[in-house]
Chains A and B, each alone.
Chain A
């Protein structure tokens, strides 16, 4: 009964009810599973999944589905996680999962779980037809909350160490991955230079 009273009290405060999303969230969940540290504050990345576009007109080009997913406070360094995020940027989801499966890094296992969760979400909630038809549009890391701790050395000496945590954000978009940009050749650079010279205008002249 106490929980029901608390639920009723807090139900007006939840921002989910204010959004015109049209779907009813069950009142049984008070706690949001995302980043409980800051008083149950829902992060920006989690909110990106809530935007609902109006139905597309018949003549419009098809808007591909976008799925945002993240994991907070992973016990791993931000700098080290960045290398993995840079690896899978722009790959198809199957290729990314393959690369992460055979990577020796600790963060690879975490990112693999996040990608599988996101794939599952895409198929279940976001109306994606083929689970392989996704590619990774954005994959970023953020720094989590650091904690300073004592690290004991010999002879009574000590140093302060930082316990690093990070967040990982991924955006999956339906469709095949975009082709990689061809590297810039010297010829292209020369063409650009000549174009810049041609764009110059003469001022204060006839």
Chain B
């Protein structure tokens, strides 16, 4: 019990101190002698019901426990480790062994692919033929129901070309465009 008394009279103060000393010595037979008894501030009321201490907090799930823990890198990957991964032979570009020379034009071509140069040549000629066809037809949806024959300079339609639509091209026949 902490009691604070303001004593205006020094005599009363001395009496109180004496009483207090007796109280201390009476209540606790102090073995310490020089040391002060280990008394400290305490609660006025004591009992188990006053301060609830034994309730476990683990039963209530906090907000952090409902989240699934995500994978994250723990340490920085050093440049040596990164280089080992990036320069591994399976990540390097493989050299292609299927490159040949086109027998027609001499450019390089892949074995299973048409020669790019020859294809571009044919594509260009086809474009010009299509332009001629467009000029002859004059508009969309005018395609005739008969076959088409392309004739170059100095060529006459043969008996086989009876009834076919003839497209004229004003140039010499290219060597790769075989007639019939």
Where the two chains meet, the residues of A that have a C-beta atom closer than 8 Å to any C-beta of B are 79, 83-84, 86-87, 98-99, 101-103, 105
Contacts and interface: CB of A to CB of B under 8 A. Distances in A.
Contacts of A105: 93
Contacts of A103: 93
Q: Is the interface of A mostly helix, strand, loop or mixed?
A: helix
A101 B108 contact: yes
B45 to A, nearest CB: 58
Contacts of B110: 102
Contact of B95 (A79, A83, A99, A101): A99
A83 B93 contact: yes
A87 B89 CA distance: 11
B92 interface: yes
Contacts, number: 25
Contacts of B134: none
B13 interface: no
A103 B92 CA distance: 13
Interface string B84-120: 0011000111011001000000001010000000000
25 contacts: A79-B86, A83-B91, A83-B92, A83-B93, A84-B93, A86-B87, A86-B92, A86-B93, A87-B92, A87-B93, A87-B95, A98-B96, A98-B99, A98-B108, A99-B95, A99-B96, A99-B99, A101-B99, A101-B108, A102-B96, A102-B99, A102-B108, A102-B110, A103-B93, A105-B93
A83 B93 CA distance: 7
Given A87-B92, A98-B99, A102-B99, 9 more contacts: A83-B91, A83-B92, A83-B93, A98-B96, A101-B99, A101-B108, A102-B108, A102-B110, A105-B93
A29 B92 CA distance: 42
Contacts of A98: 96, 99, 108
A70 to B, nearest CB: 21
A105 B94 CA distance: 13
B82 to A, nearest CB: 10
B119 to A, nearest CB: 14
Contacts of B96: 98-99, 102
